[in-house]
Amino acid sequence: MTMDSPIPLAIVGVGKIARDQHLPSISRTPAFALRAAVSRNAEVDGVQNFTDIEACLAARPDVKAVALCLPPEPRFAAAITALEAGCHVLLEKPPGATLGETDVLADLAREKGVTIFATWHSRFAPAVQPAKAFLADRAIRKVTITWREDVRRWHPGQGWVWEPAGFGVFDPGINALSILTEILPDEALLRAARLEVPENAATPIGVTMTMGIAGGGYEIDADFDWRQEGPQTWEIAAETDGGLMSLTGGGKTMAVDGKVVSDEPEAEYDGIYKRFADLIEAGESDMDMRPLRLVADACLLGRRVAVEPFHE
């Protein structure tokens, strides 16, 4: 299909990530025009607001695309509703509470002939593609991920992150895994994991993962932690025959042996909406589940260790 005019879009879930990232990027993307918002306790100025997606789509049949910014657990039902109505669907990460859910959504989108896009916003950080190009023809010796941040700063008052399907520290950790699976020339496979779960929570506050690649080769170590105060750390380092490649700032800056080779302004969510528009125009979908599969494998294979209760 060819888009001659902006696609009418509704945003579902008007929380911090929607206001900080989605709404500004939608306003900057000519391919979309925001027409409605859905939230139980918030509104977006300048558009029609609803408290549930069913009412929104019934009242606004002009809406042809939906951006789902809900937590993972309720997102599945909203996605089914949107797909059944013939809407293109953008899924905030993680794309589902289970791999089974994402399979169902991909199949339904195919059946309805619409686009579904599982977004991994960190893949659109400016230094990710330069890092991928650098590693493509290098011998990799070891990869280390350090993703440590303060949950109180980034998820204040959001108790759902500690409940089943809330993902715990995997909520940010999956960002690192989305970059890893994008830049590596090989498929990462989980070998072992340790999940530190507060006594009053169902999801981990700290995780270590050991990964490798099929047939051996090199090791990949990951350290995710939600207890870091002060400066936050989002780093991936790869030891190669061409030097030590490091991605810092969540993929914003790339350096080789300490020399910065890529450092551009962050525009992750602008990239997401451009990609969504391109997929719709091409009549395609993008449901890469490799980051979610690594999280699922860690939960299957990992050793759970109880740690002290978490109190905000």
Residues labelled catalytic: 93
Lookup result for tokens 């089974």:
100
Residue type, 132: K
Name beta bridge partners: 213: 188
Name beta bridge partners: 237: 144, 246
Strands 32-38 and 7-12: parallel
CA atoms within 13 A on the CB side of 250: 17
CA-angle at 98, arms to 308 and 306, nearest 5°: 15
Residue type, 1: M
Strands 259-263 and 65-68: unpaired
Alpha-carbon distance values, 217 to 136, 144, 187 (Å): 15, 15, 11
Q: What share of the chain is helix, strand, coil (3-state, %, to 5)?
A: 35, 30, 35
Chain-centre distance of CA 55, in angstroms? 27
The torsion region of residue 296 among left (phi > 0), alpha (psi -120 to 50) and beta comes to alpha
| 66 and 89 Cβ atoms separated by less than 8 Å | yes
Total residue length of the chain? 312
| 66 and 90 Cβ atoms separated by less than 8 Å | yes
